[in-house]
Amino acid sequence: MRKTNALALAALGTALAMGLAACGGTAGGGGDKNTGTGNTGTGTSAAKHNDGYTKVVNASDAKGGTLKFAYSDEPDSMDPGNTYYAFNWNFTRLYARPLLTYSAEPGEAGLKLVPDLAEGLGEASEDGKTWTYKLKKGIKYDDGTEVKAADVKYAIARSNFSAELTDGPKYFAEYLDAGDYKGPYKDKNLDNFKGIETPDDYTIVFKLKAPFSEFDFLVANPQSAPVPQAKDTGLEYEKTVASTGPYKIESYEVGKQFNLVKNEHWDPATDTTRKQLPDRIEVQMKQSAEDIDQRLLAGQIHVDLGGTGLQTAARAKIVGDPKLKDSTDNPYTPFNRYAMMSTKVAPFDNIECRKAVQYATDQVATQAPWGGPLGGDIGSTLMTPTTVGYQQFDLFPNGADNKGDVAKAKEALTACGKADGFETNIAVRGDRTKEVQVAEALQASLDKVGIKASIKKYPSGDWSAQYAGKPDFVHKNNLGIMIAGWGADWPSGFGFLSQIVDGRFIKASGNYNMMELNDPAVNELLDKGIQTTDAAERNKIWAEVDKKVMESAAFLPFVYEKTLLFRPESLTNVYVHPAYGMYDYTWLGVKQ
Amino acid sequence: MTAPLDVSGQAMEAQPEAVLEGAGGKAIEGRSLGQIAWMRLKRDKAAFVGAFVVVFLTLIAIFAERPFGGLIALFGDPPNLPNNDLIDPMTSAPLGTWGGMSLEHPFGLEPVNGRDLFARILSGAQISLLVAFLATLVSVVIGSLLGVLAGFFGGWVDTLISRLMDVFLAFPLLLFAIAIVGAVPDKALGLSGNGLRVAVIVFIIGFFNWPYIARIVRGQTLSLREREFVDAARSLGAGNGYIIFREVFPNLVAPILVYSTLLIPSNILFEAALSFLGVGVAEPQASWGGMLTRAVDYYQIAPHFMIVPGLAIFVTVMAFNLLGDGLRDALDPRAR
């Protein structure tokens, strides 16, 4: 993921949902402890806390009613080709079908890619540089016209190669061999786009610059949903998306109200992952976050669209009420919250000084700002428990209770030649209260071993362009420690790791490898991994990369983030989709 | 004249009243102006309470962290020490009733990290009062000097200074302050970190508030310079400098004192506002406004976190205002 904020895509994470909830992280606890408590059996619904994590709650095929969403802000766009908001990669599937999608199942099974518009998974050529997909025949838009391969090609051309649509990721532009193609708005002739070929109406061939074994994950993002060139209205298209899914757009009043109605041209026989239960779906935007929680708890709305969970006040209410708690789920998000130590800023150019920080950190204190165990499990790796390839290990145990090991930290300080500690700075996005609180907690931990850290706040808008993401600035201002977060765009080790650990991705600005770690062994492993077609083999390599980076002691994990989702009684067919870390919006129904 | 306060500078020559008060037992004795004012002040209970609180707060701020850790060390935890054991990890709220208030933590604990609010209030008091006093001093020095010059010399000097005042009064101070504090580097003028920030805040508040005091002083000076004692001094050959500092200025002390006392609370509020907006002193240094910002996120689960610093600001501002009003009444009976 390019941006690490909650607005940007939080999607595609999760694996091993149940298995790892029980042993996630070094402190773990959150997941399994919660399932045990709060079961009083008094609720009218028999579902328990975290049930939505492992099975479908309130399973029902009853049709009708209006499914009501509310959202505290407005999204970048409702156009599947122009959105990087996590929930929209989930929500847009209601009216836009990509080539592939994730299986509609809770738990680990949900991370499996299944064909959506395509007949099967991609077929790679010998050299791994050509990927071919066959379209299912007879799939129609909401106006009854048939979906053609050229529409998929056009969709990717507009979303990745045009200067107009800026909000989504540009992975296709990065990997496809398309020369200096300028996008369909400047260059109307689609034949000039050489990155994708459509030999016939049902065949799509992607031409890559280099072998990329995880290409299937890319076409599972909503950008591969077809767009008929004649219907494209650029930025306005978000109001009139040509629907392939079970619903079509009735109206969109930007930033206020988004309404969907049933699409009669959707054929369930061609679709294995969606349902079409409610008659209407309505989204209210720009609602107060606390108001959303209250209406959710009162059953007046069904889902908080953002999928980022309940706010502090509602959390407190849930924790104190076992019956309410039974109506919640506590899934992992794809985010890891951590700090990076710059290996180019003294004294962190010495690994022993970095180790001192690892040992000294009180991870219970750095967990608190996220909302304690409900907000995340204490971390010890780069990849989160819901990333495919994750392996649990802890190279720097900081005391039995994770509250910091002062003795070991002092030992490391002595080995670093700074027995009396040193001075450094902690950089943080000043407008992110939680991250500032984490910085304060870290500061207090370090103070105990004699490391005097000052907190430097920078605006999050220019955080990566001007401040922490600009090595020059980091060196000049002696920013030893930077508080950050990261979530992958697709749930694999590569999706998570490449941008933040690959030494060749260190940029003069917009840099996410803030450790400035350039380890040839790590870079080599990443290259090897992405060329490995065998998934199991590949996942082993990602775990190896994770270990190698952790050995550098430059990556200081805080928590594997979790959210607290509420499912009202009136909501049917609810389960947490592991690929999105929120409820599967295409399955939901409502009780009348 | 549009002075925000109707402070009149003529208190000092209100002579006759001095005789009335003392008509008791002993021989009639002349009383100094100070004695008269003090007597009136003593009878004003509200002002006395205000004065008491002001002195009390000032002492607390002075001795909060020194010597040897000061009051904070005496009564509890250091202001930046997290107490995660005393926080309910599930809700982020402090354990126990009333936000974890107890003998060890009389004002309760901050949500999430469990820092002791008593220590943070005391630590924040230093910042609030320091900024308020210094900024007021800056305003008063600049304001009285320019006000006296404008009023005394009149003519082009007056025009120049008065227009300058207009310019300063038209400045969008809050926006300017946010911009400046945000743009200040980490190190400058031999200061760094919070020292520099406090200096910048003092400068901004002080440097942009002087016209208010200058206007009052100018008005008073305008009327004073026409008075007989000034003419008398002049006819005896006194120079301008002598007249300004020996004849006019003593008569300005009362309004300046009153106005300063009333400027302090507004400066406290200004500092709190800056901290609330995130451009005050930097965390983890406590400040009352900064605590209020944090409290916004937790007001439903930990209302005490908003009430405690809110009360601190309220009480302080109230005390200074009561004292200021009392002083004005005491020094200028005609303004009653």
Percentage with pLDDT > 70 across chain B: 89
- Enter the tokens of residue B233: 């001094």
Q: What's the pLDDT at B69?
A: 66
Contacts of A4 (CB under 8 A, 6+ apart): A335, A484, A485, A486, A487, A512
Q: What's the pLDDT at A590?
A: 94
User: In which band, very low, low, confident or very high, does the pLDDT at B102 lie, cut at 50, 70 and 90?
Assistant: confident
Q: What is the ipTM of this complex?
A: 0.74
Contacts of A308 (CB under 8 A, 6+ apart): A6, A10, A333, A563
User: If contacts are CB pairs under 8 Å, which of residues 246-275 in chain A contact chain B?
Assistant: none
Beta bridge partners of B191: B188
β-strand A376-378 against A555-562: which pairing, if any?
antiparallel
Do B287 and B280 form a contact (C-beta atoms < 8 A)? yes
B183 in contact with chain A, both atoms CB, cutoff 8 A:
no
What stretches of A142-279 adopt beta strand conformation (E)? 196-197, 203-207, 247-253, 257-262
Q: For A63-80, how does the pLDDT look when each residue is reduced to its tens digit (9 = 90+)?
A: 999 999 999 888 889 999
Question: What are the chain A neighbours of B90 within 8 Å (beta carbons)?
Answer: 315, 319, 372-374
Cα of B125 to nearest chain A Cα, Å: 20
For residue A556, with 0-12 CB atoms within 10 Å meaning exposed, 13-18 middle and 19 or more buried, which class applies? buried
- Enter the tokens of residue A86: 């996590």
Average pLDDT over residues A52-62: 90
User: In which band, very low, low, confident or very high, does the pLDDT at B137 lie, cut at 50, 70 and 90?
Assistant: very high
Q: For B173-208, how does the pLDDT look when each residue is reduced to its tens digit (9 = 90+)?
A: 888 888 887 777 767 776 777 788 888 889 888 988
Question: What are the chain B neighbours of A313 within 8 Å (beta carbons)?
Answer: 300-301
C-alpha A585/C-alpha A582 separation (Å) is: 8
Tracing tokens 């706040």 back to the chain, one arrives at A457
- Asked whether the beta carbons of residue A316 and residue B297 sit closer than 8 angstroms, the reply is no
Tracing tokens 């209006």 back to the chain, one arrives at A66
- Asked whether the beta carbons of residue A372 and residue B89 sit closer than 8 angstroms, the reply is yes
Do A481 and A501 form a contact (C-beta atoms < 8 A)? no
Q: For A68-127, how does the pLDDT look when each residue is reduced to its tens digit (9 = 90+)?
A: 999 988 888 999 999 888 899 999 999 999 999 999 999 888 888 999 999 999 999 988
Average pLDDT over residues B315-330: 89
C-alpha A123/C-alpha A11 separation (Å) is: 25
> A18-22, A198-202, A333-337, A516-520 — which is least confidently predicted?
A18-22
- Please say if the pLDDT value at position B310 is more than 90: yes
Q: For A260-284, how does the pLDDT look when each residue is reduced to its tens digit (9 = 90+)?
A: 999 999 999 999 999 999 999 999 9
Question: What are the chain A neighbours of B301 within 8 Å (beta carbons)?
Answer: 312-313, 316
Residue in A471, A551, A556, A453 with CA at minimum distance from that of residue A511:
A471
| Mean of per-residue pLDDT scores for chain A | 87
Residue in B223, B95, B55, B203 with CA at minimum distance from that of residue B141:
B203
Tracing tokens 């109406």 back to the chain, one arrives at A201
Question: What are the chain A neighbours of B283 within 8 Å (beta carbons)?
Answer: 436, 439-440, 455
C-alpha A327/C-alpha A307 separation (Å) is: 15
B235 in contact with chain A, both atoms CB, cutoff 8 A:
no
> Could you tell me the maximum CA-CA distance found in chain A, to the nearest angstrom?
75
Do A217 and A389 form a contact (C-beta atoms < 8 A)? no
Percentage with pLDDT > 90 across chain A: 59
Average pLDDT over residues B104-121: 87
| Chain mean position to CA A149 | 29
B103 in contact with chain A, both atoms CB, cutoff 8 A:
no
Determine the residue of chain A that is closest to B194 in CA distance. Answer: A454
Q: For A181-233, how does the pLDDT look when each residue is reduced to its tens digit (9 = 90+)?
A: 989 999 888 889 999 999 999 999 999 998 888 899 999 999 999 999 999 99
DSSP single-letter state for residue B232: H
> Could you tell me the maximum CA-CA distance found in chain B, to the nearest angstrom?
82
- Please say if the pLDDT value at position A581 is more than 70: yes
- Please say if the pLDDT value at position A23 is more than 80: no
Run of H or E residues at A414: helix A406-416
Do A516 and A344 form a contact (C-beta atoms < 8 A)? yes
- Asked whether the beta carbons of residue A444 and residue B284 sit closer than 8 angstroms, the reply is yes
